A and B are shown apart, each in its own frame.
Chain A
Amino acid sequence: SQKIEQNSEALNIQEGKTATLTCNYTNYSPAYLQWYRQDPGRGPVFLLLIRENEKEKRKERLKVTFDTTLKQSLFHITASQPADSATYLCASTDSWGKLQFGAGTQVVVTP
């Protein structure tokens, strides 16, 4: 079955810099990868979706890339702000809309 791997180490970054998070999948290339934000004790909130045939997707300060050769997606937060501090989850979408999540990467943005 598909396995989604994210860097478990927290990413500490200074305000204004770009945070880059990695998501790797192990088996078949998912048709879609999705990125969610999760704050402590809260449900995941959808951020971005990228299709297998798309190289890059942007939304405001967020950018996602999808490299099927490397079996990897990168998630970038540009001009990071303390309010961006959260855990970011990568998920592949399977049949019937089932999401398979990675463990998430915590981002801490310091002023």
Chain B
Amino acid sequence: EPEVTQTPSHQVTQMGQEVILRCVPISNHLYFYWYRQILGQKVEFLVSFYNNEISEKSEIFDDQFSVERPDGSNFTLKIRSTKLEDSAMYFCASSEVSYRGTEAFFGQGTRLTVV
């Protein structure tokens, strides 16, 4: 069964450092998303991406964040200068179409720890 793959599974970084989280969405999907979940809190939307551009972003997704689809398979989230409060589980998701109601397939997540 096709799945969304994320690497690394766990990343520890020093405050102020840049991190890149990587995702390989399901191959025939066209819509890509990043979500995050701070420990003990709900899953929060960060950004959606379609046709090589951001289609929607949340207030959390400020100038420190960027996304890219550098080739036909990878989808990355970059945090330019990490803060302690960026520590969270980051989930990549993809879906076949974006119309309301399409199920999203989530990866297993990258646990980011900022020290």
Contacts and interface: CB of A to CB of B under 8 A. Distances in A.
A20 B9 CA distance: 33
Contacts of A51: 101
A33 to B, nearest CB: 9
Given A32-B101, A43-B109, A44-B106, A97 B43 contact: no
Given A97-B100, A101-B42, A41 B109 contact: yes
B45 A44 contact: no
- Interface range, A side: 20 to 34
Interface in A33-61: 34, 38, 41-46, 49, 51
B102 to A, nearest CB: 6
B51 to A, nearest CB: 11
Interface in B34-71: 35, 41-45, 48, 50, 55-56
B18 interface: no
A97 B48 CA distance: 8
Nearest to B97: A97
Interface string A87-100: 00100011111111
B42 A93 contact: no
Contacts of A96: 31, 48, 50, 55-56, 98
Given A96-B31, A97-B95, A98-B33, A44 B100 contact: no
List the 8 closest A-B pairs by CB distance, nearest first. A43-B106, A32-B101, A97-B98, A46-B103, A103-B42, A101-B43, A31-B100, A96-B55
12 contacts: A41-B89, A42-B109, A43-B93, A43-B107, A44-B91, A46-B103, A93-B100, A96-B31, A97-B99, A98-B56, A99-B93, A103-B42
